[in-house]
A and B are shown apart, each in its own frame.
Chain A
C-alpha cells in the first residue's frame, strides 16, 4: 500500500505540468504568454511620444510659460508673451512645433493654408521666439539678432529689403526681406522683443502680394506694451527680465545642484525671483527629470537681493545655464539689461 502511494505520487510529479522557474520567467520582460491577447485599448497608441528626452517643464502649472500658447479655433494666443492673433481665413496650424531647444529656441506656431492650391502650398507663417539669455549668436536684443542674421544670409539668398523699422499692432518691429532666386520663394521677417525674447514672425511664399496682405493682416495682432526690437524687458504686469541677475552680489545664498546622473546636455533655466528674493517660479527649457529634480531642490535654497526698481522691490526674471556641455549663455554685459 505504501509503495502504491509512493508510485502514485511519483507518477503525479512526472505527469503534472510543473511550473519550472524558466517557464515562469518567460512572462514579462521580452516575453509574453503564447496565448496572450492584447485587450482593446492596451496597445500603445500610434503617433504618441511617450519616451521623452530632455524636455520643457515648470515648477508650477499656473505661471504662463513661453511654449504654453497655441492655436485654438482660429486664434493664436500666447499668454506668456501677451500675444493674440486671429488667423487669416482658411489658415490653420496643421502640426504643432517641436519643444524648446536647449539653445532657447521656441516654435510658438506654424501656420499654413488648410488647402493646397493646384497641388502647391501658397505660403507659411512661422512664429518663433529666441530666448536672448541663451542664444549662442552675438546679439543682445532682437534688433541685433535680426541684423546679424540679415548680414549673414546664406549664399542662396538675396536681400530684398534691408532692416527697417515698422509697426505691427501698434508696436515697433524690425522688418527685412530676402528671397531665393532658384526657389522663387520670398521670406518676410518681422521681429520684436518681449520679455527678453526675440519674437519673430517669418512669412514665406512665392507670392509677394500674399505676403504683403499677410503683413497688413498682422496689424490686428495683440501685443504687450513692452514689445520693441531694442526694449522688451518685461515690467508692468509681468516681471522685468534681466540677464546675469543670478551672478555676483545679487545672489546672497547659492547651492549647487547635485546630479544623480551625468548626461552632459545643456540645461537652460529661467527663474522668477519674487520681491523678497526667493525663487518663485522655475521654467526648464530642456532638462531630464533627474536634472529638473536636482536643480529645483537647489534653487529653492537660493536667496537673492530683492530687485529694486523706482524704489520698489520688483519681481525679476533671469536665466541660468546648468549642465556640463561645452556651451555658454550670452555673457554680454548689456544683455537684457533693464538699465
Chain B
C-alpha cells in the first residue's frame, strides 16, 4: 500500500515536472544552419562599380590580419590592447559579426602575446568577448570616486615582456578592485553586417520615423545621439556614439588594438593615464619604430592596397550584406513559417517594434554601390537612444547618451548571436526580454505586454526572434 502511494507520488511529480516544462516558453537558442551571413552586398558581388569587390575582399583579408608590436608586415599593436585581430572579436557567425562561443581573449594573458599579464577575473573560456570600462576613476585609496566620471575603455592587456616590445612595461588596470567596488562594466562587440545600410540613412528619414514612433501608447519617447562636430545623428556603437563606419573603424583600431591611424593619430593611454597623469611612458611610444600614425595609406601600392587599414576595414563593413533570416529549429523540430509570422505580428502588436522597427526607412541614394541605394533597412532598430532603466544602466556617458541610455540594438542576425544585451550577461532570450523592464526604463510597459501573452504566443515571439 505504502509502495503504491509512493509510486503514485513519483508519477504525479513527474507529470508536474513535464507539464511545467511544457508550460514555459523556450529560447530556441543559437541557430546553427548556414544562412549565408558574411557575404557582400549583391551589387558588390557583381563588382558594380568595377573594382569594388576587390575593396571588399581586401578589407575582409585585412580584418583577419594578426598584428604584432614591431616587425613584420602588420605592426603597431599596443602598448595596450584587447585583441590583436579585428576578426577575433567580430567572429560570430561569420567574419564581421560579434563574439564567438570560445573567447579568444581567455588565453592571451601569460602567452607570448601578453607574457607579463594576468587574466582578468571576468574572462572565461566560454564567456563573452568583452571590453571593460570603469564608470568612475579610483580615489588614491582604491575606492570609486563618483565625482570623477571615467567611462573610457580600460584595455585588458599590455605588450609588457613581449619579445617585440622592447623595454615597455605597463601595469594592467586594477580590474579586481574595480569589480569589488562595482566600478566596472562590460561591452560585447557589435556585429557589422548590413552596417552600410544604417550608415546611409538620412537624418530626415530617422527624424520622420521618430515622429511616427511617437504615436505609441506604451510611454516610449526616445531621442538621438549626435556627432559633436557637425551635430548630425550618430549611429554606431552601443550608445550610437559613432557617426560613420570610418570613425567606428578608426576608434576600434586605436582603442581595442592600440594602433594609431589617420583618424586617431596617437597611441592611446588609459583614460586616467591621459586625463589625470602624464600619458604613456616614453619607452612605450613608437614601439613599431615606424613613427606615427602606425596605420597610413600606401602611396607606392596600387589598387585596394593603396588604402590604409582603417579605410579597408570600413569598406569591408560598409559592403557587408545584411544578415539573412533563416529557419528555426526548436527541440529538434523546424518551427513552421506560420508560427514565425505569428511571432512577427505579436512582436509588433505588443510594442517591441516601436523601437525595434522592422525598418526605419529607406536609404538615401548611394555613391558607393547600388545595393546601398534606396533600400529598406530591416535592422529592427530606430537608431534612437532610449532610457533602459536602472537594471541595464552602465553609468557610462558617450556623446549625448547618459548612463542609462542605449541605442536600440539592431536585431537582424539575432538568430545566430550567442551573447545578448550590451554586456553579454545572458545567452537566453527570455532573460534579455525580462531585462527590458526596470525602474526608469522606457520598455517596461511593452515587457509587461509580453508578460500578458499566453505561453504559446510568447514562444512564437522567441521563434521569430531566432529567425532573424
Which of B45-53, B95-103, B260-268, B453-461 forms part of the interface with chain A? Answer: B453-461
Contact across chains for B180 and A38 when beta carbons are under 8 A apart:
yes
A32 part of interface (Cβ distance < 8 Å): yes
Knowing A38-B143, A325-B231, say if A101 contacts B222 (CB, 8 Å).
Answer: yes
B221 contacts which of A105, A123, A148, A182 (Cβ < 8 Å)? A105
Which residue in chain B gives the minimum CB-CB distance to A202?
B217
Please indicate the chain B residues that have their CB under 8 angstroms from the CB of A48 in the complex: 390, 393
Residues facing A in B394-410 (CB within 8 A) are 395-397, 399-405
Which residue in chain A gives the minimum CB-CB distance to B230?
A264
Which of A151-159, A251-259, A308-316 forms part of the interface with chain B? Answer: A151-159
Contact across chains for B141 and A36 when beta carbons are under 8 A apart:
yes
Across chains A and B, the number of contacting residue pairs, with CB separation under 8 Å, is: 261
Please indicate the chain A residues that have their CB under 8 angstroms from the CB of B231 in the complex: 262, 264, 324-325
Which residue in chain A gives the minimum CB-CB distance to B218?
A126
Contact across chains for B219 and A156 when beta carbons are under 8 A apart:
no
Contact across chains for B397 and A185 when beta carbons are under 8 A apart:
no
Contact across chains for B451 and A25 when beta carbons are under 8 A apart:
no
B144 part of interface (Cβ distance < 8 Å): yes
Which residue in chain A gives the minimum CB-CB distance to B455?
A119
B36 part of interface (Cβ distance < 8 Å): no
B273 part of interface (Cβ distance < 8 Å): yes
Please indicate the chain A residues that have their CB under 8 angstroms from the CB of B273 in the complex: 29-30
Which residue in chain A gives the minimum CB-CB distance to B178?
A32
In the complex, A188→B442 CA distance in Å?
Answer: 20
Please indicate the chain A residues that have their CB under 8 angstroms from the CB of B278 in the complex: 25
A49 part of interface (Cβ distance < 8 Å): yes
In the complex, A96→B174 CA distance in Å?
Answer: 35
In the complex, A182→B456 CA distance in Å?
Answer: 12
Residues facing B in A24-62 (CB within 8 A) are 25-34, 36-39, 42-55
Contact across chains for B219 and A107 when beta carbons are under 8 A apart:
yes
Report B261 CB to chain A, min CB distance, Å: 23
Which residue in chain B gives the minimum CB-CB distance to A22?
B281
Please indicate the chain A residues that have their CB under 8 angstroms from the CB of B346 in the complex: 182-183
Which residue in chain A gives the minimum CB-CB distance to B278?
A25
Residues facing B in A180-204 (CB within 8 A) are 180, 182-185, 187, 189, 200, 202, 204
Please indicate the chain B residues that have their CB under 8 angstroms from the CB of A53 in the complex: 397, 400-405
Report A156 CB to chain B, min CB distance, Å: 4
Which residue in chain A gives the minimum CB-CB distance to B450?
A121
Knowing A183-B453, A202-B217, A204-B452, say if A325 contacts B224 (CB, 8 Å).
Answer: yes
Which residue in chain B gives the minimum CB-CB distance to A135?
B214
Contact across chains for A185 and B349 when beta carbons are under 8 A apart:
yes
Contact across chains for A185 and B219 when beta carbons are under 8 A apart:
no
A49 contacts which of B143, B144, B221, B403 (Cβ < 8 Å)? B403
In the complex, A325→B384 CA distance in Å?
Answer: 14
Contact across chains for A42 and B181 when beta carbons are under 8 A apart:
yes
Residues facing A in B304-355 (CB within 8 A) are 342, 345-346, 348-350
Report B442 CB to chain A, min CB distance, Å: 5
Knowing A51-B397, A124-B452, say if A27 contacts B140 (CB, 8 Å).
Answer: yes
Please indicate the chain A residues that have their CB under 8 angstroms from the CB of B218 in the complex: 126, 202
B428 part of interface (Cβ distance < 8 Å): no
B445 contacts which of A47, A124, A206 (Cβ < 8 Å)? A124
Please indicate the chain B residues that have their CB under 8 angstroms from the CB of A50 in the complex: 135, 146, 395, 403
In the complex, A45→B440 CA distance in Å?
Answer: 16
In the complex, A274→B36 CA distance in Å?
Answer: 66
Please indicate the chain A residues that have their CB under 8 angstroms from the CB of B271 in the complex: 29-30
Please indicate the chain B residues that have their CB under 8 angstroms from the CB of A45 in the complex: 182
Contact across chains for B445 and A110 when beta carbons are under 8 A apart:
yes
Which residue in chain A gives the minimum CB-CB distance to B211?
A136
B171 part of interface (Cβ distance < 8 Å): yes
Known: A30-B134, A38-B180. 15 other contacts (CB 8 A): A26-B171, A29-B270, A29-B272, A29-B275, A29-B276, A30-B150, A32-B178, A43-B180, A50-B395, A101-B221, A128-B219, A185-B349, A185-B453, A264-B231, A265-B400
Which 7 A-B residue pairings sit nearest by Cβ, starting from the closest? A29-B272, A53-B402, A101-B221, A36-B142, A32-B142, A51-B403, A264-B226
Query: What are 28 A-B contacts with C-beta separation under 8 Å?
Result: A22-B281, A25-B277, A28-B272, A29-B273, A30-B270, A30-B272, A31-B138, A32-B177, A33-B140, A33-B141, A38-B177, A44-B181, A47-B391, A49-B393, A51-B135, A51-B395, A51-B397, A55-B402, A103-B214, A103-B223, A110-B444, A119-B455, A124-B445, A126-B445, A137-B214, A149-B215, A182-B457, A202-B218
